[in-house]
Amino acid sequence: MRIEEIIFALCLLSIIIKDKHFNENAILLAHKIEIRPNQEQEEYLLGAVGSRRFAYNHLVAYYNEQKKLTKTVSVKLIKELRAKYEWLEDFSTRVIRNCVDDIDKAIKRAWSPQIIIERNRAIDKASTPKQKLKAYNLGMPQFAKKGINESFSIREKEKITIKDRKFKVEKMPFYIKMRNKIRFSGVVKQVTISMQGGKWFASFLIETTDKHEEEQKPRLDSVGVDVGIKELATLSNGVVFPKSQPLKKQLKRLRQLQKKLSRQIRYSNGYKITKAKIAKLHYFVSQKRKAIIHELTDYLVKTFNRVAIEDLNVKGMIKNHKLAKAISDVGFGMFKEILTYKCKLYDVKLVLVDRFFPSSKICSKCGTKKDNLKLSYRVYNCNSCNLVIDRDLNASL
């Protein structure tokens, strides 16, 4: 997951808590729209993301030196920066003020029980000074790098103005064109402007009470979904959604570009061009992955009243280096996230099955458990009732 998406997700809960006028019947929906800035506007956006990066790195440097940083001290440091550097006045105060919340979340995450356990485990496994240094820094706030996941956020609705297919934020001297209109009606709570694959995007967070009002066909009662590596999803009604393999298809091209990049002079024109090509290729892969997941989730919420999926521990699964690439390519985490919000939007009940429930090993016909079922066995043969069925289909039933 990219840094702007992580920051965007972490803000959802804090906005609900802080907003006294939040409607309990409302839901928060995000709409990411490509924007079309001209050269002057793009220079302004680059300056804004640069100011955010500059302020955030200043706070990270202070934390690394002092080993402690409170919100009060962060606010004081930000005020000192604005007083010292006049060019920061060209942008909304909230662009760099939001760094206070971002660094605070990063520090809290660094000292969360889960990260502490992972850090201690890494320290115990480290055998060289370099490995130990890397282990000690595991999960700690990192410096934001130029050209990587560039973004900034405005989290105050009063500072965001939208007119048809144009928008602007505080201190922005112009409106920027959007490729599409915002598709949800309601109150825009925040906007995150980011650059990805050479393109600019605006992610709007909208508080809305709208439900999906398009005419729907009568839906079936329920369905079980088994997500996997061989196929994206196998449904209990026998429907199979094949997985998209954009990363595998583009892997050869990606390796060629990365090899070329490693041989070029850092920050030369050729280096920048190759780096831009790699970013565009990664963007193509992510869009391909999202497209097939949206197709699957649309089918589920428009066809069934109840959907059951396994509550997978994706973070734990990708630690298996043999399966990490395949799991990341399928996008298990993205599938669960998109399905969750669509179920709420379409009034579909989502059931999360315990991840430790051995659905693949239990016969869907007689209930007999087969303990010696290896991952390489793709067909389930029941010794009790002689059922022969695809492993994934059996798990979904």
pLDDT in tens, 166-175: 999 999 999 9
Higher pLDDT, 112 or 228: 112
162 and 251 housed in the same domain: no
Cβ burial, residue 145 (10 Å; 0-12/13-18/19+):
exposed
Which of 4-8, 59-63, 130-134, 149-153 ranks highest by mean pLDDT?
Answer: 59-63
Q: Any idea which residue has 């050869």 for tokens?
A: 252
Tell me, yes or no, whether 162 and 243 share the same domain. no
Q: Which pLDDT belongs to residue 282? A: 83
Residue 59 and residue 75: Cα distance in Å, rounded? Answer: 10
Task: Mark which of 208, 242, 258 sits at the end of a domain.
Answer: 208
Q: Name the one residue in this structure whose structure tokens are 């369905």.
A: 223
Report the distance separating Cα 350 and Cα 375, nearest Å: 27
162 three-class SS: strand
Of 173, 208, 243, the residue at which a domain comes to its end is 208
Neighbour order of strands in the sheet with 27-36: 151-154, 187-196, 199-208, 27-36, 176-178, 166-169, 160-163
For 206-240, write each residue's pLDDT tens digit. Answer: 988 766 555 566 788 888 888 877 778 888 888 88
Looking at the domain assignment, is residue 379 inside a domain? no
pLDDT at 15: 46
CA–CA distances in Å: residue 288 to residues 108, 127, 232, 249, 281: 34, 40, 13, 11, 11
Please give the share of the chain, as a percent, with pLDDT higher than 90: 39
Biggest distance spanned by C-alpha atoms of the chain: 78
For residue 97, count other CB atoms closer than 10 A to its CB. 18
By the 8 A CB rule, do 3 and 187 touch?
no
Task: Give the alpha-carbon dihedral of 386, 388, 394, 397, to 10 degrees.
Answer: -70
CA-based nearest residue to 200, from 171, 174, 178: 178
Tally of domains within the chain? 2
Say how many C-beta atoms besides its own lie within 10 A of residue 193's C-beta: 25
Is 33 in the same domain as 169?
A: yes
- Give domain status of residue 101, yes or no: yes
Is 371 part of any domain? no
In-domain check, residue 381: no
The whole-number pLDDT of residue 13 equals 47
Structure-token pair, residue 135:
């282990």
Which tokens belong to 307? 């959907």
390 part of a folded domain = no
Question: Looking at the domain assignment, is residue 326 inside a domain?
Answer: yes
Residues 171 and 116 both lie in one domain: yes
Q: Same domain, yes or no, for 234 and 198?
A: no
Domain that holds residue 251: 220-353
User: Do residues 227 and 111 both lie within one domain?
Assistant: no
Same domain assignment for residues 194 and 56:
yes
Name the residue among 284, 292, 259 with its Cα closest to residue 198.
Answer: 284
Q: Are residues 199 and 289 in the same domain?
A: no
Q: Do 145 and 44 sit in the same domain of this protein?
A: yes
- One DSSP character per residue, 363-386 reads -TTT--B-TT--TT--EEE-TTT-
pLDDT above 90: residue 359: no
Residue 230 belongs to a domain: yes
The pLDDT mean for the chain works out to 83
| 67 and 121 inside one domain | yes
Identify whether 365 is part of a domain. Answer: no
What does the block give as tokens for 22?
């939040």
Other beta carbons within 10 Å of 75: 12
Residues 279 and 180 in one domain: no
Same domain, 295 and 161: no
